[in-house]
Amino acid sequence: ILKRFSMWSSRVFSVEVDGAPRYFGIREQLRGEPVPPDVFSEVQKQDRCYSLLVCSGDRVTGDRFHWELRDRLQRQLPPGSGLRSMSSFIPDQKGSLLKGYFLQSRAGNSSLIEDILTDLEQRNPVLVCSYSQSEDGQQWTQCLWYQSEDNPVRFCVVPSETPKHHPSVLNMINSDVFYSLDEACDVLKQCGDIIPETRSVLGMLPSSLDARRKPDFPVIVIEGLDATGKTTLTESLRDSLGATLLRSPPQCLSAWRGRFDREPPLIRRAFYAVGNYITAEQINQEASKSPVIVDRFWHSTAAYAIATAVTGPVSNLPHEGAEVYHWPGDLLQPSLVILLTLDPEERKRRLRSRGLMKTDEEEELDHNKLFRTRVEEAYRRIVGSACIALDASPSADLVLQQALLLIRAKCHL
Ligand SMILES: Nc1nc2c(ncn2[C@@H]2O[C@H](COP(=O)(O)OP(=O)(O)OP(=O)(O)O)[C@@H](O)[C@H]2O)c(=O)[nH]1
Ligand SMILES: Nc1ncnc2c1ncn2[C@@H]1O[C@H](COP(=O)(O)OP(=O)(O)O)[C@@H](O)[C@H]1O
């Protein structure tokens, strides 16, 4: 294990507390006064802490195992145990990200937890560590477990300064956000045995895709959070402009969408990415005959993926201009993207007036302000097609008039 992680002591560890990452590091020897990192500050005297990191060589099986492991631990851990998302990484080293969980035993449950972890470690590609504190509670040590050794390796736990980038940024390109059809298809092809539906999804792809073909008629994408009024506006624009109305994911994938919404981000985002490419081909065909209006496209895919992968405040997002915000080179670029913006309270009112929330992400948007502001800011940072924000709070008819003015000005319709 340690050979595979030769730079183990240069790793930073991140534990999610109240929706934001808290960091700590490890050292082979303690230099200076012991200062317990704040992630351990609430740990009681008799509690023990553990970390479980997935280190599978294959990212599809690793991501699915990590995804299923949360429910499994929630079922198996004794009541009252603490379970938090965790990651470990070497700052600024792409591909160094390991995802896992941070566990906290309560009231002497540690032997039960240690049995669960030992069993997990013997059957799965996981790295288990236990954390114990000194008598005075001032110093924590990390002890690396692995079943073959009975003298585990120990490290001193030390505070870590906040890294320049959120750990998820190291792993985002072609894992949370896909920048080519081939990359997205590769992920879905690897799932063929475990998710048979991927073959049907891939079967929907056209034989040839030409991202560089310039559509004859304007292509206008309407973006925005749920209940900002996209459906209402896109249908009115279709009628006012005699346009064709398309959406992403396309209708032909509707039967499988729920199935992929239950998968880990790697597979789910590959599904939505393939959906964008199928929609792009439909746009190409329709835009030779009339203007095309699209309900959600690349902005939704990238914004939700980036805002989900990164936790905590907006400042944790990749900086403006970062590679993650760039439009894929092989994906059709619309003539204009209109981003509907709306006051959160009005959006909630409209959501209630329309009925059920759509996806778990929408639930998350509703009660997690941090997530909502990350989605909104990620939308704004995406470069490629001109994206113009439009206030969606006036009446549906006024919003329609405003949108028509924008389209006429930008697309000469
Ligand atoms: N369309 C789309 N939705 C995504 C994507 N990634 C995640 N989602 C989730 O799916 C939801 C969108 O589902 P839709 O059926 O388009 O919901 P909606 O916001 O009502 O969209 P409209 O009905 O077109 O107004 C988003 O709010 C996200 O929670 C993506 O790449 N494309
Ligand atoms: N400009 C508007 N003013 C007031 N209510 C609106 C407006 N646009 C849409 N609505 C209502 O808000 C709800 C959500 O609109 P919808 O078009 O479904 O949003 P989205 O497609 O973005 O989820 C619907 O009940 C719709 O009738």
Give domain status of residue 175, yes or no: no
**196 and 109 both lie in a single domain:** no
pLDDT of residue 62: 93
**205 and 287 both lie in a single domain:** yes
The ligand that comes nearest to the alpha carbon of residue 253 is 1
The ligand that comes nearest to the alpha carbon of residue 257 is 1
Higher confidence at residue 39 or residue 237?
A: 237
Q: Which atom of ligand 2 is nearest to the CA of 233?
A: 17
The domain boundary, picked from 151, 170, 189, lies at 170
Give domain status of residue 253, yes or no: yes
What is the residue with the minimal CA distance to atom 16 of ligand 1?
296
User: Residue 403 maps to which CATH number?
Assistant: 3.40.50.300
Count how many Cα atoms sit within 13 Å of the Cα of residue 402 in the half-sphere of its side chain: 17
Place of tokens 């939505």: 272
Give domain status of residue 301, yes or no: yes
Instruction: Give this prediction's pTM.
Output: 0.91
**342 and 307 both lie in a single domain:** yes
**225 and 283 both lie in a single domain:** yes
**194 and 104 both lie in a single domain:** no
366-373 own/partner pairs: CB under 8 Å, 24+ apart: 368/19, 369/344, 370/19, 370/20, 370/311, 370/312, 370/313, 370/314, 371/19, 371/307, 371/308, 372/225, 372/344, 373/313, 373/314
Residues 232-267: tens digit of each pLDDT: 999 999 999 999 999 999 999 999 999 999 999 999
**106 and 209 both lie in a single domain:** no
**211 and 323 both lie in a single domain:** yes
The domain boundary, picked from 170, 192, 223, lies at 170
Residues 189-222: tens digit of each pLDDT: 999 999 999 999 999 998 777 777 788 999 999 9
**164 and 262 both lie in a single domain:** no
Instruction: Give residue 186's identity as a one-letter amino acid code.
Output: D
The ligand that comes nearest to the alpha carbon of residue 300 is 1
**121 and 263 both lie in a single domain:** no
Instruction: Give residue 291's identity as a one-letter amino acid code.
Output: P
The domain boundary, picked from 170, 202, 228, lies at 170
Place of tokens 């896992």: 100
Gap between the Cα atoms of 230 and 364, Å rounded: 19
159: β partners: 24
C-alpha of residue 124 to centroid of ligand 1, in Å: 35
**28 and 139 both lie in a single domain:** yes
* Burial class for 255, CB neighbours closer than 10 Å (0-12, 13-18, 19+): exposed
C-alpha of residue 400 to centroid of ligand 2, in Å: 12
Least confident range from 68-77, 158-167, 348-357, 375-384: namely 348-357
Higher confidence at residue 132 or residue 220?
A: 220
What is the residue with the minimal CA distance to atom 11 of ligand 1?
359
Q: H helices of 46-178, where?
A: 59-76, 110-123
**37 and 93 both lie in a single domain:** yes
Note the ipTM here. 0.90
Pocket test for ligand 1, best of 178, 238, 267, 296 (most atoms within 8 A of CB): 296
Q: Is 232 in the pocket of ligand 2 (CB under 6 A)?
A: yes
Distance of CA 42 to the CA centre of its chain: 28
The residue range of the domain holding 392 is 181-411
Give domain status of residue 106, yes or no: yes
Pocket test for ligand 2, best of 231, 293, 347, 350 (most atoms within 8 A of CB): 350
Distance of CA 97 to the CA centre of its chain: 14
C-alpha of residue 282 to centroid of ligand 2, in Å: 25
Gap between the Cα atoms of 179 and 173, Å rounded: 7
The number of domains in the chain is 2
